[in-house]
Copies of this chain bind each other. A is one copy, B any other.
Amino acid sequence: MQAVTFQAPGEVRVEERPEPDLLARDDAIVNVDATGVCGSDLHIYHGRVAIEPGFTLGHEFVGTVVAAGDGVTQVTEGDRVLGCYCSACGNCFFCRRGDFHQCDDGRVFGHGKTLGSLQGAQAERVLVPHANLTLRRVPEEMSDDAALFAGDVMGTGWHAVDQAGVRAGEAVAVLGLGPVGLCAVQAAKAAGAATIVGIDSVEDRLEAAEAFGARPVHLMEDEPRAAVKDATDGRGVDAGIDAVGHPDALELACRLTRKAGTVAAIGVYAERVQIHMGVVWIKALTLKSGQANVIGHVDRVLAMMAGGLLDPTPLVTHHMRLADAPEAYAVYDRREALKIVMTP
């Protein structure tokens, strides 16, 4: 079958790879109908996350179950399904508590041996372990484009809002309006946020955030702190979401959040950074971080999408063929796209 493989920093290739086989009783094989290119793929493309040459990329997919072990009970052959970006065993200490993203045996699609040697979904077919947890049936009326988001980007946007504990009537600031930040804006809206301030320095993204219900605030041209004060009777937002993953964003999130509020840092951090703990302490903030518990959220996210509360399809800016993956990566790398959906 055809698959998109990593070769070297800046180089991906579409090449023939062996068909996957069922290995365990709860495995399934999915025939991929649509697969996305995501910011995490770019980390690999740039060589910042090292994986083995020849490893198949991709962790967002929608498709059809073509084979399933006899322990697969939640989906069946012929089902149209979406996949989560990672798998979880369902049995360990963390899974038993619902912390599927911290599974002791968790594996991420398309991230090489450091994240579990699970071949990626930018391919004609993909092997899915623990299919009962990793896959979900796609509601009939939902498009592939929409469903693709439930298992990764929208799941992450919702995770930020869930971690931040956003409840109806509250005020939220979202810092960074890339795909995850824009999904967080939608998720905050869905959770009943009465005020959403969206902060970025890219006009298009500010416009998208506004279309989704946020007050757009330009990071440099506007005054984020003044804008938030104005929107919250001077009190600050109940929840600040750092969808950037940079200490400046994190500090601004802390500044914008009210006393006893919560800051959810959903952007990726890998190193030591300076944090103004004086601010965190004096305001008694709660700070949450980490990758998203997408498996834990996916039922809810699908219900919100099916109910019209979330609609990620405006984020899809490009449709391309799997065969054109090298071009797709180049387009994405030039920041010309918010989300590229590829079809085999």
A residues engaging B (CB < 8 A)?
Answer: 24-26, 70-71, 73-74, 89-99, 101-102, 105, 132-133, 158, 167-171, 187, 190-195, 235, 247, 250, 259-260, 265, 268-278, 280-291, 295-296, 299-304, 306-307, 309
Contact = CB atoms under 8 A, between A and B. Distances in A.
Contacts of A192: 168, 190-192, 304, 309
A283 B269 CA distance: 11
Contacts of A274: 272-275
Contacts of A307: 169, 193-195
Given A132-B91, A168-B304, A272 B280 contact: no
21 contacts: A26-B71, A71-B71, A73-B105, A89-B132, A90-B90, A96-B133, A96-B295, A99-B284, A169-B299, A169-B307, A195-B303, A195-B307, A268-B281, A271-B276, A271-B277, A272-B275, A272-B277, A280-B289, A284-B291, A286-B286, A287-B289
Contact of A278 (B25, B187, B271): B271
A167 to B, nearest CB: 7
A290 B281 contact: yes
Contact of A284 (B102, B170, B194): B102
Q: Which 5 A-B pairs have the closest CB atoms?
A: A284-B290, A194-B307, A91-B132, A269-B277, A169-B303
A97 B170 CA distance: 13
Given A97-B98, A289-B280, A290-B284, A303 B170 contact: yes
Nearest to A281: B269
A269 B260 contact: no
B169 A301 contact: yes
A74 B102 contact: no
